[in-house]
């Protein structure tokens, strides 16, 4: 955006007059381009969740993990609803606001979304980790947690903690890769428009 505005500034020093409309068009195009990329990413995630949820739910029922299946419904349905609500907010704001106000509204909505996304992801990763770990446990977990002398098996508990920390860290890194850079670009665009 900055390069196009500089080019227009150079043009404006000559005999050619540049209208405010042309500047607004450039700002609007660049601004909505980053928002449309974020919305596209969100839509892909939303559709993947719509596909993954029933598969995960059916597999839990198939393996007779009914408590986990109910917990999945309790978690995923609001998650899917939240995605759809946010997508509607972003599309609705585009029609009603100026470019600066639209960017600001999108940035604020996306900040809240990313914060909620991180919290929900940590929760979901922890649940998924313990569901899969539980599925691999034998009849009695005491044999794995307690060694032959009846002492706590620290290496087993440590491996569970490391696996959980790695899973949560990976999920947070994925969220950062999906939204972090785009949010920084969006914030810099807002700051440019305010200066």
Q: What is the pLDDT of residue 51?
A: 93
* Cα separation, 29 vs 36, whole angstroms: 10
pLDDT tens per residue, range 90-102: 777 665 667 778 8
Angle at 82 between CA 81 and CA 86, to 5 degrees: 120
167: CB partners within 8 A, 6+ apart: 125, 126, 128, 129
Task: Write down the H helix ranges in 137-153.
Answer: 142-145
| Residue located via tokens 């509204």 | 105
Angle at 188 between CA 183 and CA 189, to 5 degrees: 95
Q: What is the pLDDT of residue 135?
A: 59
Q: What is the pLDDT of residue 148?
A: 65
Q: What is the pTM of this model?
A: 0.66
Phi, psi at residue 146, to the nearest 5°?
A: -105, 135
- Confidence band of 9 (pLDDT split at 50, 70, 90): very low
pLDDT tens per residue, range 61-73: 888 888 878 888 8
pLDDT tens per residue, range 127-179: 777 777 665 655 455 556 666 676 767 777 787 788 888 988 998 999 999 88
- Confidence band of 104 (pLDDT split at 50, 70, 90): confident
* Cα separation, 160 vs 164, whole angstroms: 6
Q: What is the pLDDT of residue 174?
A: 92
Least Cα distance to 37 among 97, 92, 110, 123 occurs for 110
| Number of Cβ within a 10 Å radius of residue 20 | 7
Q: What is the pLDDT of residue 143?
A: 59
């Amino acid at each position: 955006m900055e390069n196009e505005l500089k080019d227009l500034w150079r043009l404006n020093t000559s005999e050619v007059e540049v209208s405010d409309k042309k500047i607004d068009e450039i700002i609007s195009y660049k601004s909505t381009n980053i928002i449309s990329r974020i919305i596209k990413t969100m839509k892909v995630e939303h559709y993947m969740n719509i596909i993954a949820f029933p598969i995960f739910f059916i597999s839990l029922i198939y393996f007779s993990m009914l408590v986990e299946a109910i917990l999945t419904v309790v978690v995923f349905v609001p998650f899917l609803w939240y995605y759809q609500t946010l997508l509607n907010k972003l599309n609705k704001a585009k029609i009603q606001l100026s470019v600066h106000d639209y960017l600001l509204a999108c940035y604020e909505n996306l900040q809240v979304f990313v914060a909620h996304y991180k919290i929900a992801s940590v929760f979901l990763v922890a649940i998924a980790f313990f569901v899969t770990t539980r599925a691999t446990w034998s009849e009695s977990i005491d044999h794995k947690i307690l060694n032959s002398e009846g002492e706590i098996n620290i290496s087993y508990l440590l491996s569970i903690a490391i696996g959980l920390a790695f899973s949560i860290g990976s999920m947070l890194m994925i969220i950062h890769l999906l939204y972090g850079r785009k949010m920084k670009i969006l914030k810099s665009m807002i700051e440019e428009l305010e200066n």
